[in-house]
Amino acid sequence: MASDKEAKNSLTGRTVIVGITGSIAAYKMADLVSTLVKKGVDTYVIMTKNATNFIHPITFETLTNHKCLVDTFDRNFNYNIEHVSLATKADCVLIAPASANVIGKLAGGIADDMLTTTVMACRCPKLIAPAMNTGMYENPILQDNLDKLRRFGYEVIEPDAGHLACGVEGKGRLPGIETLLEHVYYELEFKTDDNGDKIKDLEGKKILVTAGPTREHIDPVRYITNHSTGKMGYSIAINAMRRGAKVTLISGTEDLPDPIRMNVIHIESAGDMLEAVQKNYADQDIIIKAAAVADYTPTETCDHKIKKDSGAPKIDLKSTTDILAWLGENKKPEQFLCGFAMETEDLIANAQKKLEKKNANMIVANNLRTQGAGFGGDTNVISIITREGVRELPLMDKSEDAVEILNAILERI
Ligand code: CTP
């Protein structure tokens, strides 16, 4: 097994081929390629001739420090061999945007340019992101070709719906760069160690994560909430997904994009979250309650806007159900329950009390007063508390905390 550190950094030194075809969305790929290179991924770009009408190969040569391959028969370069050697060393190939033409060629086994010959020779995971006019995308021949590619192991990244460059509204837009990158990361991260053994160490595990704030409505325009952004919970959910877990994410925020490859359930109030948890908890192996659930909710929600003429309203509050405590009472013996504790004083003692009171297996605690910890930012300073003891971690990225939290859980299940 590769060490955690290797697994964490497993993007560095990996090889990705990015295939770009003739679609207006080709211009967006400069950002994607630049991000991959910054993450240490050895990135090669292959363009079809049509793609060069939308963005110049020099852009990609500058970004990747490799020749951008277009023509199979360039006399200055031994491409016939290059396409095979590149295909052999690639860990993943992403064709984005993929035109109807290239999809048709790959599905039909036609290899008549640098991109199709290389992709045909690749044995690594192949991702394909169609982007085109809605009519073309919905054409049954195109859909049939995509089904065929799926049957042969390609992962088809569904296009988004929205305003297309041709002026119509509909399905066919290239998904955001972040979404495309997530698909690439999934193929590369926590995948294989140096011996080629699988290290998707959460494969087969079902994980429920709650994230973000809740909103307790006073009337149709006003609500009570808190400063949680959901970043910590989303980092955990994404890391678990990349490690192979089947993730259900119950989220109280609309501000973060839905992560790929998981079931995302959006809720508003603490009551909604309780209901969603009760519906989904029974068959989970691990439950992680990162959400900042409101402790109080108005006893009544007014169905019309409260007018100020009637004076400052008195808002009566009632306690919400403590979902973590409910889970602690109702969990199955083999289920692992991890809660969070946000404190401003006596961090460890208060968190240890929560561990016992709510019958959790682990509490991740942070002190709101510590610099770099808490709501909103990209970093946190956490302590992992179990019945065996306390592990204090230094200031780090929430994505690194997510790795540590999941490692700590894995050690105990
Ligand atoms: N929690 C919950 N349901 C609630 C309130 C909290 O499930 N109604 C969970 C949170 O998701 C978190 C843990 O309980 O995992 C601790 O939340 P925290 O706000 O730190 O503590 P509370 O239990 O609310 O106690 P206090 O506010 O007194 O610190």
**CA of residue 209 to ligand 1 center, whole Å:** 15
The pLDDT of residue 6: 44
pTM above 0.85, yes or no: yes
Atom of ligand 1 nearest to the CA of 339: 15
Of 216, 340, 362, the residue with max ligand 1 atoms within 8 A of its CB, to mutate for a pocket test, comes to 340
**CA of residue 280 to ligand 1 center, whole Å:** 19
Atom of ligand 1 nearest to the CA of 210: 11
SS3 of residue 8 by DSSP = helix
Alpha helix (H) ranges present in 15-90? 29-38, 57-64, 79-89
Angle CA(150)–CA(173)–CA(53) in degrees, nearest 5? 100
Q: Which candidate, 382, 312, 370, 325, places its Cα nearest to that of 344?
A: 370
**CA of residue 202 to ligand 1 center, whole Å:** 27
The pLDDT of residue 4: 46
Digit-coded pLDDT (tens) for 278-335: 999 999 999 999 999 999 999 999 999 999 888 888 999 999 999 999 999 999 999 9
The pLDDT of residue 382: 94
26 is written with which tokens? 């080709």
Nearest CA to ligand 1 atom 16: 341
Residue among 68, 122, 166, 338 flagged as catalytic: 166
The pLDDT of residue 78: 57
Atom of ligand 1 nearest to the CA of 320: 8
The pLDDT of residue 194: 67
**Which residue type is seen at 50?**
N
399 is written with which tokens? 């994505």
Atom of ligand 1 nearest to the CA of 363: 15
Q: How far, in Å, are 98, 102, 109, 225, 311 from residue 50 at the CA level?
A: 11, 11, 20, 51, 67
**CA of residue 204 to ligand 1 center, whole Å:** 29
- For residues 21 and 88, what is the distance between their CA atoms, to the nearest angstrom? 21
DSSP state of 314: P
The pLDDT of residue 191: 63
Q: Which candidate, 90, 91, 95, 166, places its Cα nearest to that of 129?
A: 95
**CA of residue 233 to ligand 1 center, whole Å:** 14
The pLDDT of residue 8: 45
316 is written with which tokens? 């009566």
Q: Which candidate, 44, 42, 43, 40, places its Cα nearest to that of 9?
A: 40
Ligand 1 binding pocket includes 340 (Cβ within 6 Å): yes
Q: Is 209 left (phi over 0), alpha (psi -120 to 50) or beta?
A: beta
Which residues of the chain are modeled with pLDDT < 70? 1-9, 72-83, 191-198
**CA of residue 295 to ligand 1 center, whole Å:** 7
The pLDDT of residue 225: 97
Please report the sign of the dihedral spanned by the C-alpha atoms of residue 344, residue 348, residue 349, residue 351. positive
Atom of ligand 1 nearest to the CA of 341: 20
Is residue 122 among the annotated active site residues?
Answer: no
Q: How far, in Å, are 40, 130, 138, 155, 309 from residue 95 at the CA level?
A: 20, 8, 19, 10, 60
Of 287, 317, 321, 323, the residue with max ligand 1 atoms within 8 A of its CB, to mutate for a pocket test, comes to 323
Ligand 1 binding pocket includes 324 (Cβ within 6 Å): yes
Ligand 1 binding pocket includes 323 (Cβ within 6 Å): yes
